[in-house]
Structure formats: structure tokens, C-alpha cells
Chain A
Amino acid sequence: MGKILLRKAGINYMKSGKIMVLWLLGAVVLLLPDRAWAMHISEGILPAHWAVLWFVLSAPFVAWGLRDLRLRSEQVPHFKPLVGLVGAAVFIISCMPIPVPTAGTCSHPCGTGLAAILIGPWLTVVVTSVALVLQALFLAHGGVTTLGANIFSMGVAGAFVGYGVFHLARRLGAGWVLAAFLAGLLSDWATYTATSFELASALHGDSSLGALFVAILVAFVPTQLPLGIFEGFLSAGAYRFIYTRRPELLQKPVGGLS
């Protein structure tokens, strides 16, 4: 009798947990604003030659990432589900507007620092490209002509900085939680620094490139400073979860840079 009661109590506890998650999801959906733009550069902002240049610079990273995906999928059995999960996570995270109460504005994290730790920087460029294409086509979130620039800032800069920071911190003796936190934090800031440079280089005209770059970067600070810290905690939390549940997913797979 006692066991039955305990089991019922356990089921009720699980049900109440699920209901709470549903409530939270509902609240998030209701709080979504009608547009969720952030670092994505919108259609038509970059002149044609700059848009083409960023496509040309991003293309080799995407091509190498696709090669990496083919090779590692053949060698590691659980690799495709991991890439699928990370890709979906990057897509969701990068179109999820988060209000920053201290600034009164909204922006989104990128998820590329965490992705780079889990699947490597080259593949992060690939999943970021897929996410950005879908967002540009179906959500008016970033432009098609500015896709190359957006891939470079979020995919290339975010992924390689996150990956580099994580491994540098580990080599310097930092714990993995701190390393994951720094990777998330600095990959977010690197993305917005790259966006500032892309905008400044295309829009500075006769004025100073450096001055405009600093002006745009400073304008991002009130929103991105706290959001970067949030992304750091997000990365550390997700890394800790995987480390405790399936640490073998974090081992270095054969044949890839991760």
C-alpha cells in the first residue's frame, strides 16, 4: 500500500514537472515579440561588392565543414544525431529574442560557442549556415544578400573564437565549466565584434573606419554585455549536462577538428 502511494506520488510529481515545463514554454511563446532581429544584417544594408566579398570569405569554411561532416559521420556512429541536435539548438537559440532589462532592448544569443565545443568549428559553420538560410528565407530574419556576412560573423568568428578559447583555457589549467563559460561568452562577443566590423567597413564612406567600428561596437555593449554572460552560463550548463550524462560524446572523434 505504501509503495503504491509512493509510486502515485512519484507520477504526480512527474506530471506537475511536465505541466510546469509546458507553462514555461507557453510563457516564452507569449513573450515573443512580432519580430526577432538582432545581429543578423538585414537585406540591402551591405553594398553588392561587400556582400559578395563576405560570401567568398565564408564559402571555404562551409565547403570544408561539409567534407568534415561526411568523414566524421562515416567514422562515429552517434555523430549525425549530435549534429542534428546541435543544428536545431543553434537555429532555435539564434532566433530567440531575449529582453535585456538593463538596456530595454532585445537580442539573441548565438549558440555557436557551445556548438563549436561539441562538434568542432568547421561543422558549426555548416549548421549555422543552414540555420541562417532558413531564417533569411522564411522568417525575414537577416537577408539573403547579406547571408555571407552573417555566416562569417556568427558561424566563422563565433565558432572559431569559442573553440579556440575553450581549448586555450583548458591548456592553461581552467576547469571545463569555466572553459565552457568563457567559450560561450567570448564567442557571443566575437560575433558582434565581427558584425560591427562588417558594418563599419561597408558603411564608413569617407569617414574613419576605426571610429565607426568603435561607435557600432559601443552601441552593442549595453545589450550584448549581459547577454554574453547569459550565453556563457548557457554553454557551461549544457556542457555540464552532457559531461555527466554521456561524457563519451565529448571525446575527440577520429578524423575531425573537435
Chain B
Amino acid sequence: MKRVLIAGAVVVLLAFSLWFVVGNFKAKWSGVDESVVEKFAEQANRPPQKPLIDIGEGDLPLFCFLVAGAAGGFIAGYYFRELFPPKSKAKADAKSV
């Protein structure tokens, strides 16, 4: 019952999010760096410069973020398994001790 309630809440939340997204369909979805930080920086004549290692435009930044996310996820998963072993493994370890 509890799981059904949680699943229902998630569905309602997703539906609301979708409704807001459709409402903001023409929004650019830019980051606050662009809509806030860069806006004020440009007003003060300090526009951002190119990054030290420019990962360019197009799909390359997407690829870089994907690799970074995958590597970070792998490391997090590795340590997570070490800290929170599956219950069967934890029981086996406890028996061997």
C-alpha cells in the first residue's frame, strides 16, 4: 500500500512537472549562469572568456558530460557497494566471522 501511494505521488508530481514544462514550452531553459551571472557580468563589461580547455559546441559537451556522469556514477556505485553491501553478502560475511 505504501509503495502504491509513493508511486501515485511520483506520477502526480511528474504530471504537474509536464504541465509546467508544456506551459513554458517557449522557454530557453538556459542555466542561471547565462540568465543571471553572465547578464550582470556583461552589464559590468566583464563578459565571460573562453574556458582554458574549450570543449566547443555541438554534441561534444554532451559527450563530455555523459562520460563525466558515467565515471562519477561508477565511482559512487563502487564505494556505495563497499559501504552498503547486499544483505546476502553481509550475512555471509557475518557468518564467516
Contact = CB atoms under 8 A, between A and B. Distances in A.
Contacts of A154: none
B44 A36 contact: no
B86 to A, nearest CB: 11
A82 to B, nearest CB: 6
Contacts of B65: 32, 36, 95, 139
A180 to B, nearest CB: 18
A202 B83 CA distance: 43
A40 B33 CA distance: 7
Nearest to B82: A81
Interface in B47-64: 47-55, 57-59, 61-62, 64
Contact of B40 (A97, A140, A199): A199
Given A43-B48, A44-B48, A212 B54 contact: no
Interface string A143-158: 1100000000000000
Given A81-B79, A85-B79, A85-B80, A199 B31 contact: no
Contacts of B94: none
Interface in A41-59: 41-47
A220 B55 CA distance: 27
A74 interface: no
Nearest to B56: A140
A138 to B, nearest CB: 6
A98 to B, nearest CB: 10
A229 interface: no
A224 interface: yes
B53 to A, nearest CB: 6
A14 to B, nearest CB: 11
Given A38-B32, A203-B44, A246-B84, A139 B68 contact: yes
A32 to B, nearest CB: 6
Contacts of A81: 79, 82-83
Contacts of B83: 78, 81-82, 85, 246, 249
Given A46-B46, A104-B29, A136-B52, 9 more contacts: A29-B66, A34-B59, A44-B47, A45-B48, A85-B80, A89-B76, A101-B21, A105-B30, A216-B40
Q: Which 3 A-B pairs have the closest CB atoms?
A: A104-B27, A101-B20, A44-B49
